[in-house]
Amino acid sequence: MLNFKEEIAKLIAQQVEGLELAEIQEMIEIPQDSKMGDYAFPCFKLAKTLRKAPPLIAKGIAEAIAEAEMFEKVEQVNAYVNMFISKEAFVKVTMEEVMTKGDDFGKTNIGENKPVIVEYSSPNIAKPFHIGHIRSTVIGNSLYKIYDAMGYDVIRINHLGDYGTQFGKMICAYRHWGNKEDVINEPIKTLLEYYTKFHVEVEEHPELDDEAREIFAKLEKGEPEEVELWQWFRDESLKEFSRVYDMLGISFDSYAGESFYSDKMPRFVNELKEKGLLEESRGAQIVDLEPYGLGAALITKSDGSTLYITRDIAAAVYRKETYNFEKNIYVVASQQNLHFQQWFKILELMGYEWSKDCVHIPFGLVSLAEGTMSTRHGRVVFLEDVLNKAVEKTKEIIREKNPDATEEYVDEVAKTVGIGAVIFQELSNNRIKDYVFNWDKVLNFDGETGPYVQYTHARCASVLRKAGDDVVAKAKALENIDYKHLTSESAYDLAKMLYKFPAVVLDAGEKYEPSIVTRHIVDMAQGFNRFYHDEHILTDNEDEKVAKVALVLAAKEAIKNGLALLGMGAPERM
CATH number of the domain residue 316 falls in: 3.40.50.620
Residues 42, 139 share a domain: no
pLDDT of residue 447: 82
Highest mean pLDDT among 163-172, 342-351, 423-432: 342-351
Q: What is the mean pLDDT of residues 362-388?
A: 73
The pLDDT of residue 250 is above 90: yes
User: Is 483 inside a domain boundary?
Assistant: yes
User: Is 377 inside a domain boundary?
Assistant: no
Which residues does 287 contact at the CB level (< 8 Å), separation at least 6?
272, 277, 278, 279, 296, 297, 299, 342, 346, 349
Q: Would residue 360 show up in a list of annotated catalytic residues for this protein?
A: no
Indicate the pLDDT class of residue 386, thresholds 50, 70 and 90.
Answer: confident
Residues 431, 478 share a domain: yes
User: Is 276 inside a domain boundary?
Assistant: no
Residues 346, 228 share a domain: yes
What's the chain's length in residues? Answer: 574
Indicate the pLDDT class of residue 136, thresholds 50, 70 and 90.
Answer: very high
Bridge partner list, 161: 124
For 394-432, write each residue's pLDDT tens digit: 999 889 888 888 999 999 999 999 999 999 989 998 899
Bridge partner list, 346: none
The pLDDT of residue 158 is above 70: yes
* Pick from 542, 524, 549: nearest CA to 457: 524
The pLDDT of residue 65 is above 60: yes
Q: Give the span between the Cα atoms of 186 and 147, in whole angstroms.
A: 37
pLDDT of residue 148: 98
Query: One of 87, 133, 415, 496 is an active-site residue; which one?
Result: 133
Backbone φ and ψ for 278, nearest 5 degrees, come out as: -90, 140
Q: Give the span between the Cα atoms of 420 and 450, in whole angstroms.
A: 6
Q: How far is CA 226 from CA 190, 206, 212, 263, 380, in A?
A: 19, 21, 11, 17, 28
Which residues does 113 contact at the CB level (< 8 Å), separation at least 6?
151, 152, 153
Cβ 92 vs Cβ 554: under 8 Å: no
Q: How far is CA 252 from CA 54, 115, 156, 308, 460, in A?
A: 56, 15, 5, 22, 33
Query: One of 127, 145, 345, 520 is an active-site residue; which one?
Result: 127
Residues 558, 494 share a domain: yes
Query: b/e for 330-369, b at 16 or more Cβ within 10 A?
Result: bbbbeeeeebbbbbbbbbebbebebbebbbbbbbbebebe
pLDDT of residue 376: 54
Q: Give the span between the Cα atoms of 498 and 514, in whole angstroms.
A: 17
User: Is 103 inside a domain boundary?
Assistant: no
State the DSSP H helix or E strand holding residue 331, giving kind and residue range, or none if neither. Answer: strand 327-331
Q: Is the dihedral of CA 458, 459, 460, 463 positive or negative?
A: positive
Residues 493, 399 share a domain: yes
User: Is 234 inside a domain boundary?
Assistant: yes
Residues 362, 388 share a domain: no
Residues 399, 316 share a domain: no
pLDDT of residue 337: 95
Helix axes 542-566, 87-101, angle to 10 degrees: 60
pLDDT of residue 328: 98
> Can you tell me whether residue 247 is helix, strand or coil?
helix
Tell me, what DSSP letter sits at residue 74? Answer: E
Q: Give the span between the Cα atoms of 445 and 447, in whole angstroms.
A: 7
Count of domains in the chain?
3
Indicate the pLDDT class of residue 370, thresholds 50, 70 and 90.
Answer: low
Q: Would residue 457 show up in a list of annotated catalytic residues for this protein?
A: no
Residues 235, 308 share a domain: yes
User: Is 571 inside a domain boundary?
Assistant: no
Q: Would residue 536 show up in a list of annotated catalytic residues for this protein?
A: no
Residues 356, 389 share a domain: no
Instruction: Name the residue range of residue 219's domain.
Output: 115-263+304-367
Q: How far is CA 102 from CA 147, 441, 554, in A?
A: 18, 34, 8
Provide the Cα torsion 205, 208, 210, 215; round to 10°. 170
Residues 404, 492 share a domain: yes
User: Is 247 inside a domain boundary?
Assistant: yes
User: Is 328 inside a domain boundary?
Assistant: yes
Query: One of 87, 130, 485, 545 is an active-site residue; which one?
Result: 130
Q: What is the pTM of this model?
A: 0.90
pLDDT averaged over every residue in the chain: 92
Q: Give the span between the Cα atoms of 285 and 471, in whole angstroms.
A: 73
For 99-129, write each residue's pLDDT tens digit: 999 999 999 999 999 999 999 999 988 887 8
Residue 481: give its domain's CATH number.
1.10.730.10
The pLDDT of residue 371 is above 80: no
Residue 54: give its domain's CATH number.
3.30.1360.70
The pLDDT of residue 94 is above 70: yes
